[in-house]
Chains A and B, each alone.
Chain A
Amino acid sequence: MKVESFCSFFQNQESSKVTRRNTRSSSSVTVENPEPNESHQPTVDDLTFGEESITLDALLSDFPGRRSQILDLIRLIGPLDCPSFPIMVYGDASTGKTSVVLQVFRHLNRPFVYSSCRTCYSPRLLFESVLNQLLLHSKCSSNGYSSAKRCDKPSDFVNLLRQALSNVMETLDSKSGTSRSSKPDGKPVGKMVYLILDHVDLIKEWEKGTMILQFLFSLYSVLKMPQLGIILISGLPPDVYYSNMGYTDPIPVYFPVYSQEELHQIFLRNQANRDLYSAFLDSVLKPFCRVTRRVDELSTTISSLFRKYCEPLDDLGLSPSEDLKRRLYNQLKPLIAPCLNEIFRVSSRPNDGDNRGERRQKASCSSENREEVEKLDFHMSTSAKYLLIAAFLASRNPATLDASMFDSTGGMDNRKRKRKASEKSMEKKEIAEQEAVMKGPGSFPLERLLAIFQCIASVGDSSFGEEEEGKEEEEEEEEATGYDRENNNLMSDVLLQVSSLCDANFITKSGSCPLEGSVRYRSMVSEDLALKVARSLRFPLSKYLYRR
């Protein structure tokens, strides 16, 4: 009747578009035919963990201190083929959330889909990776590394997900008909698919992230498909998301940070010489646990420390006696404190070009215990050095003092004067200091930088003459000519130097000042670096630095 006629007309006018669409998304067509090259066509089996499943005891022994969490997870996921509410696994970083969940699925040997919001840094990537896994689609050169379906809107995702799930369900039904027994072979067990989303907390930083979060949390109720179990892994507790929670706020499973004993067991796993290692841990672990209890942060330092610990030993097989332990500990002790204070270890290669590797190693520990005598270990031209110091002064000193600082009489006396003035009122000084701390290094316009630069360059020229191995006391006239030459050398292409300092993050362009439109700069140099530079120039920096 009329409906059909109307719609047939409608189809006709659309058929052209349809064909065009097919040509456009030809990639999704090529998915079906099997690739010629060795990339095998994934099957439903690939939805399981792959390797043969492990027993519950092995699982529990693999994760010391995670017994209750593992058991909770298994029970929440529930027995075979029975639906469950969304689950949210949360806890601090490196508390074994991801591994436990994955290993639990390895134990249960059920089909699942895993997507990490770290790897998939945008909604589209997230959706497409889920769909690719469900549709058993693998990217390869023959399909131009494209996804099975192009999908970036939640609405499309829901529709596509429904289709994909129903397909998977059919195949699973047919398979489960054949292999009912849950023998630990790679075959998937059960008629349910679980969706594991990792690093959910990252979504908050995405644009329109709250929207996506809300969608994911209510996906279960939107989809209305009990065959899909949803497990969210988050670094943040659920209360952070309360604004985004939809109809079903997921059931929380909490992974606390490992305690010291648990850490002890964890590090003790698969060690060759257990009691030696445990002796080592007894001595080392306690101080480190006060700083951090993250496995990944601890493991690097601890392994390197253990190497040092073992150095005196000739055979690592022996079980240490008490005094041996004591001796080992005693010559380990000096090493612990620096390791506590270091967060970034740079190992220097044996065939590395520089011979002073050891001192740098120490220096790399922290800015505190860096020895002051260390020289500047990279090359800067003199004018760049002066600019650096000028910027440092410009962002440390208040602009009102420049005149008095850099007049011909030199900074010393008027600094004293300033100090008296500021000592007049104590609490005002307090406040000023506090807000100075809040402001951080002050910002300055380019003109001020250049003015200060000219002043200190002219001041420093005498000292510059000092450090240059010239013959100025032998022949003045020669040095005089060379001298003013250097002077305008210093002056000539300063802007170039400024830009290169900006590139090196020594000076940052800090947004333009609201009053006049000029861009303002800000020095990011730490004080000891500035002092180092000043020392290399023999420049009396402290004399010009205004201390409150």
Chain B
Amino acid sequence: MAPSGTVADPPPSSATDSFNSGASEENDIRPFFVLHKASSGSLQGKSTGTVRSKRTIESPTPKIAKKSEVESAEEEDGQFLSNRRLKIFETVWSKIEKTIENVLRDSNSKIFNGIYDWIRESFESIRSYGALSLSEAVRSYPVLTQASSKQLFTALVLTRNLEMVDDLLTFEELNLHLKSQGCHVAKLSSMDFSAKNGVGGCLRGLLRQFVMPTLDVADVTTLASWYRENENHKNPVVIIVDDTERCCGSVLSDLILILSEWAVKVPIFLIMGVSTAHDAPRKILSVNALQRLCASRFTLSSPAERMDAVLEAVFLKPCSGFTVSHKVALFMRSYFLCQDGTLTSFVRTLKIACLQHFSSEPLSIMLEHFCQDRSNQLTGEGNGLLTESTMKHAFDLPSVTRNKITRSTCELLPQFLLDLQRMPNPWSIVVLCIYEAGKFDKLRLLDIFCETLDPEARYLKYFSPSAIVNCQSQVSGRSVIRQVLRKLRDLSPSQWRSLLKRWENLSAEFSEINDKVMELHPLKRSVEAAGQRQGLPNSPKKHASRSHTKLEKELSAMADKVAAVIEFMLREYMKPVESVPFHEILCFKNVDKLQSALLGDPRGRIQSDLLEAHNILHCICCSQRGTTLLPSMHDTSILYTLAQEHADVINLHDWYQSFKTILVSRSSKTKQNSKTCSKSKKRKDRCEEPEAPAEALIQARFCRAVMELQIAGLIRLPSKRRPDFVQRVAFGS
């Protein structure tokens, strides 16, 4: 919904914050957005332009608001620019999306191949029982071999995530992968395993995908005879059940029992996606069905691992140049951890952030050149689009003003852009180095990323010697980097070796860091030598002999040195993107917009909007209302405001009485209301001509309002026990 809001944006007025406020007013998701979209569209127009104009006047940058002749000139090329930005957004986003897809595919491919190999070898083992003649294969009684011939080969694919969203795609890809390898694949979902349809339902689903769409009755013999026909029996039959937990256990058990009776004639492989614990099948299936399964486990990479891979590909490796600020990163992280840990929602968040960045940041067009490869046509064409206004805007960016860059250094802009653009920039190298070091105690790149983005670079204070000391003493370090440092102390020589090697590879094309890394080599050798002398290199913790103590010394020296190197990296090259001038071009900073766009908290919205309805329907009649309830307000909002006084059960009679008093009280001051209200709603002036609205009418309006409240999910209608009470569904407010 947020994109649709932003797409309909007006051309950017030159004052950024006024623009932001305007944008935020339309971007945030409110339940009535659809209703009010049209009005908000006209809201840019002259009809209710008063609001906006007021805003721009009181906007805190008066000097720009003053020169209005420029604005008029800017309208049309601003229009042009916004369209342009939209296009560029599409290119940028498509690039990001492609990167993410590739990352995910790589992460899955290994497991997929594993599954396929497993299918192949078990298929061979089944055929090794001996080929069946046609008559044997379709006849009704089982092939009499040892009991193992009733085993049904099953793969439990552990998607280690409570939510299914990410894995639907995964199983779809698995389906395609296996099909491409020639297996007969059918994909059943928990819908097919409903207790109502019973085992017939899922068999029907199977046959629909294998044999033919229309069968009047579904049974396994059909499957068997189909399998024996033209060359089908050359390939195994695979059944994918992607969400096992949701299936009706008894039906699934029945299916397994039936299939296992035919296991030799129709070699069927069951692939069950298990989203929670690995022994979930034991809870669902009946013991007999369990006994028939010959299960083996495949584990997909956990969402956190995927997340790290995605982060690395999108933000740390040269991808699109788009990046996010510290706070935004923190928000996205906490959203991932607290809200729903699905990668899909993370990607959605990223997309919204990207879109809003493009909609709100005029200079974001320049990202185009980051998407394209390193050819520097930036200067040439960059000047083309560096119009007067954009230049002005660029040099009013807070980061610029902070760094005292004046218009005089205008020609430096391309220069700045260049080293913004420079990839791989030292910052990402440093982050990756720390990540490598952190891998030894399974630190998440997500955390490191968030911490290192911090513009004020608080992590540096760990390198004061006092901090080094207390980070040995202190057991629970909060900071990731401190954990890394502490971890360094008990690395084994072999780990040292691998760590240094990876660092070399990382810092290969960045000489300054690379030299530092190279300096570590002699130390590494001495450590290894000590390790060899001591015999068993992988146990630095024993204090048995002198060689141990020597090794200890070596290791600690090594650790200090490496710590020093890390400190050096952090101090010298750790320039978080927010500290760089002109970073606003690349970096999205506005957390609140993102949050409001992402989790609009609709229930809370509905309630608050009901409490002050006149902010949405800008009718004059209610505008002067303070805390008093005016009869001209919408009935629903009146009722809801009244409901606030009650506890969580509301006596219908009292409620109705107070509602009625409000409506009737209006009859006294009908006079001045009449002219104001006449233009607002026809319902109002329909209830105009009688002095007090008829009892029946009030009752009708009351009932309708209560209904609307119930539909909005705010109250629950009277139960049989207490017929004259409604209950407030009280939470979220």
Give A contacts to B, CB under 8 Å. Answer: 37-40, 42, 46, 50, 93-94, 98-99, 102-103, 113-116, 118-122, 124-125, 128-129, 133, 138-141, 144-147, 150, 196, 198, 295-297, 299-300, 303, 343-349, 351-354, 357, 360, 363-364, 377-384, 447, 450-451, 454, 468-475, 482, 485-486, 488-493, 496-497, 500-501, 503-506, 515-518, 529
Q: Across the interface, which residues of A come within 8 angstroms of B294, CB to CB?
A: 300
- Across the interface, do A529 and B277 meet the contact criterion of CB distance under 8 Å? yes
CB-nearest residue of chain A to B716 = A518
Q: Across the interface, which residues of A come within 8 angstroms of B228, CB to CB?
A: 39
Q: Across the interface, which residues of B come within 8 angstroms of A300, CB to CB?
A: 148, 151, 291, 294
Closest 3 CB pairs of A and B: A114-B141, A516-B719, A354-B299
- Across the interface, do A116 and B599 meet the contact criterion of CB distance under 8 Å? no
Flag whether B97 is at the interface (Cβ < 8 A): no
Closest beta carbon of chain A to B443's beta carbon, Å: 9
- Across the interface, do A469 and B478 meet the contact criterion of CB distance under 8 Å? yes
Q: How far is the CA of A472 from the CA of B254 in the complex (A)?
A: 55
Q: Across the interface, which residues of B come within 8 angstroms of A351, CB to CB?
A: 110, 113-114, 117
Q: Across the interface, which residues of B come within 8 angstroms of A120, CB to CB?
A: 219
Q: Across the interface, which residues of A come within 8 angstroms of B221, CB to CB?
A: 119, 129, 139
Flag whether B507 is at the interface (Cβ < 8 A): no
- Across the interface, do A360 and B278 meet the contact criterion of CB distance under 8 Å? yes
- Across the interface, do B144 and A352 meet the contact criterion of CB distance under 8 Å? no
- Across the interface, do A37 and B230 meet the contact criterion of CB distance under 8 Å? yes
Q: How far is the CA of A349 from the CA of B118 in the complex (A)?
A: 8
- Across the interface, do A503 and B243 meet the contact criterion of CB distance under 8 Å? yes
5 A-B pairs besides A145-B215, A300-B151, A447-B730 with CB distance below 8 A are A343-B290, A363-B279, A364-B279, A379-B341, A517-B719
Please list 7 pairs of residues, one from A and one from B, whose beta carbons are closer than 8 Å in the complex, sorted by A's number. A119-B261, A121-B219, A343-B290, A378-B162, A451-B731, A492-B599, A500-B340
Flag whether B212 is at the interface (Cβ < 8 A): yes
- Across the interface, do B156 and A381 meet the contact criterion of CB distance under 8 Å? no
- Across the interface, do A378 and B282 meet the contact criterion of CB distance under 8 Å? no
- Given A295-B147, A471-B458, A516-B720: A346 and B335 interface contact (C-beta under 8 Å): no
- Across the interface, do B258 and A377 meet the contact criterion of CB distance under 8 Å? no
- Across the interface, do B303 and A116 meet the contact criterion of CB distance under 8 Å? no
- Across the interface, do B219 and A378 meet the contact criterion of CB distance under 8 Å? no
Within 8 A of A (CB), among B431-457: 447, 451, 454
Q: Name A488's contact: one of B164, B222, B277, B601 (CB within 8 Å).
A: B601
- Across the interface, do B458 and A475 meet the contact criterion of CB distance under 8 Å? yes
Chain B 541-580 interface mask (CB, 8 Å, partner A; 1/0): 0000000000000000000000000000000000000000
Chain A binder among B132-140, B379-387, B675-683: B132-140
Chain B 392-411 interface mask (CB, 8 Å, partner A; 1/0): 00000000000000000000
Q: How far is the CA of A122 from the CA of B454 in the complex (A)?
A: 67
Q: How far is the CA of A71 from the CA of B225 in the complex (A)?
A: 35
Q: How far is the CA of A42 from the CA of B454 in the complex (A)?
A: 79
Closest beta carbon of chain B to A499's beta carbon, Å: 10
- Across the interface, do A378 and B295 meet the contact criterion of CB distance under 8 Å? no
- Across the interface, do B290 and A349 meet the contact criterion of CB distance under 8 Å? no
Flag whether B540 is at the interface (Cβ < 8 A): no
Q: How far is the CA of A491 from the CA of B200 in the complex (A)?
A: 42
CB-nearest residue of chain B to A115 = B140
Closest beta carbon of chain A to B162's beta carbon, Å: 5
- Across the interface, do A503 and B258 meet the contact criterion of CB distance under 8 Å? no
Determine which residue in B221, B229, B246, B729 has the highest number of CB atoms from chain A within 10 A of its CB, and name it.
Answer: B221
Number of A-B contacts defined by CB within 8 Å: 262
CB-nearest residue of chain A to B592 = A485
- Across the interface, do A381 and B229 meet the contact criterion of CB distance under 8 Å? no
Closest beta carbon of chain B to A342's beta carbon, Å: 10
CB-nearest residue of chain A to B336 = A381
Flag whether B142 is at the interface (Cβ < 8 A): yes
Chain B 299-323 interface mask (CB, 8 Å, partner A; 1/0): 1111110000000000000000000
- Across the interface, do A384 and B340 meet the contact criterion of CB distance under 8 Å? yes
Q: Across the interface, which residues of B come within 8 angstroms of A299, CB to CB?
A: 146-148
- Across the interface, do A360 and B297 meet the contact criterion of CB distance under 8 Å? yes
- Given A378-B160, A381-B337, A381-B339: A343 and B479 interface contact (C-beta under 8 Å): no
Q: How far is the CA of A93 from the CA of B150 in the complex (A)?
A: 13
- Across the interface, do A504 and B162 meet the contact criterion of CB distance under 8 Å? yes
- Given A124-B217, A381-B339, A384-B162: A119 and B148 interface contact (C-beta under 8 Å): no
- Across the interface, do A454 and B161 meet the contact criterion of CB distance under 8 Å? no
Closest beta carbon of chain B to A478's beta carbon, Å: 8
- Across the interface, do B257 and A138 meet the contact criterion of CB distance under 8 Å? no
Q: Name A447's contact: one of B163, B338, B729 (CB within 8 Å).
A: B729
Q: Name B161's contact: one of A121, A378, A468, A497 (CB within 8 Å).
A: A378
Q: Across the interface, which residues of B come within 8 angstroms of A489, CB to CB?
A: 334-335, 338-339, 599
- Across the interface, do B338 and A486 meet the contact criterion of CB distance under 8 Å? yes
- Across the interface, do B140 and A116 meet the contact criterion of CB distance under 8 Å? yes
Closest beta carbon of chain B to A17's beta carbon, Å: 20
- Across the interface, do A144 and B134 meet the contact criterion of CB distance under 8 Å? no
Flag whether B281 is at the interface (Cβ < 8 A): yes
Q: Name A382's contact: one of B161, B338, B721 (CB within 8 Å).
A: B338
Flag whether B211 is at the interface (Cβ < 8 A): yes
Determine which residue in B139, B146, B290, B339 has the highest number of CB atoms from chain A within 10 A of its CB, and name it.
Answer: B339
Q: How far is the CA of A116 from the CA of B265 in the complex (A)?
A: 15
Closest beta carbon of chain B to A378's beta carbon, Å: 4
- Given A140-B229, A296-B147: A486 and B296 interface contact (C-beta under 8 Å): no
Q: Across the interface, which residues of B come within 8 angstroms of A98, CB to CB?
A: 141-142
Q: How far is the CA of A102 from the CA of B142 in the complex (A)?
A: 9
Q: Across the interface, which residues of A come within 8 angstroms of B239, CB to CB?
A: none
Q: Across the interface, which residues of B come within 8 angstroms of A503, CB to CB?
A: 164, 243, 245-246
Determine which residue in B150, B243, B334 has the highest number of CB atoms from chain A within 10 A of its CB, and name it.
Answer: B334
- Across the interface, do B334 and A516 meet the contact criterion of CB distance under 8 Å? no
Flag whether B367 is at the interface (Cβ < 8 A): no
Q: Name B261's contact: one of A118, A357, A360 (CB within 8 Å).
A: A118
Flag whether B284 is at the interface (Cβ < 8 A): yes
Q: How far is the CA of A132 from the CA of B627 in the complex (A)?
A: 82
- Given A349-B298, A486-B338: A114 and B162 interface contact (C-beta under 8 Å): no
Q: How far is the CA of A516 from the CA of B212 in the complex (A)?
A: 47
- Given A489-B338, A493-B599: A346 and B212 interface contact (C-beta under 8 Å): no
- Across the interface, do A353 and B479 meet the contact criterion of CB distance under 8 Å? no
- Across the interface, do B288 and A39 meet the contact criterion of CB distance under 8 Å? no
- Across the interface, do A353 and B254 meet the contact criterion of CB distance under 8 Å? no
- Across the interface, do B134 and A39 meet the contact criterion of CB distance under 8 Å? yes
- Across the interface, do A470 and B246 meet the contact criterion of CB distance under 8 Å? no
- Given A138-B138, A353-B301, A516-B720: A344 and B279 interface contact (C-beta under 8 Å): yes
Q: How far is the CA of A119 from the CA of B277 in the complex (A)?
A: 31
Q: How far is the CA of A118 from the CA of B292 in the complex (A)?
A: 14
CB-nearest residue of chain B to A516 = B719
Q: Across the interface, which residues of B come within 8 angstroms of A377, CB to CB?
A: 158, 160, 277-278
Q: Across the interface, which residues of B come within 8 angstroms of A516, CB to CB?
A: 719-721
Q: Across the interface, which residues of A come within 8 angstroms of B163, CB to CB?
A: 381, 500
Q: How far is the CA of A472 from the CA of B476 in the complex (A)?
A: 14
- Across the interface, do A485 and B334 meet the contact criterion of CB distance under 8 Å? yes
CB-nearest residue of chain A to B275 = A504
Q: How far is the CA of A135 from the CA of B164 in the complex (A)?
A: 49
Closest beta carbon of chain A to B160's beta carbon, Å: 4
Q: Name A380's contact: one of B162, B280, B301 (CB within 8 Å).
A: B162
Flag whether B485 is at the interface (Cβ < 8 A): no
Q: How far is the CA of A303 from the CA of B294 in the complex (A)?
A: 13
- Across the interface, do B295 and A102 meet the contact criterion of CB distance under 8 Å? no
Q: Name B139's contact: one of A46, A296, A346 (CB within 8 Å).
A: A46
Closest beta carbon of chain B to A274's beta carbon, Å: 16
- Given A360-B297, A381-B337: A343 and B287 interface contact (C-beta under 8 Å): yes
Q: How far is the CA of A489 from the CA of B594 in the complex (A)?
A: 13
CB-nearest residue of chain A to B243 = A503
Q: Across the interface, which residues of B come within 8 angstroms of A471, CB to CB?
A: 451, 454, 458, 478-479
Q: How far is the CA of A99 from the CA of B599 in the complex (A)?
A: 62
- Across the interface, do B134 and A38 meet the contact criterion of CB distance under 8 Å? yes
- Across the interface, do A121 and B140 meet the contact criterion of CB distance under 8 Å? no
- Across the interface, do B144 and A102 meet the contact criterion of CB distance under 8 Å? yes
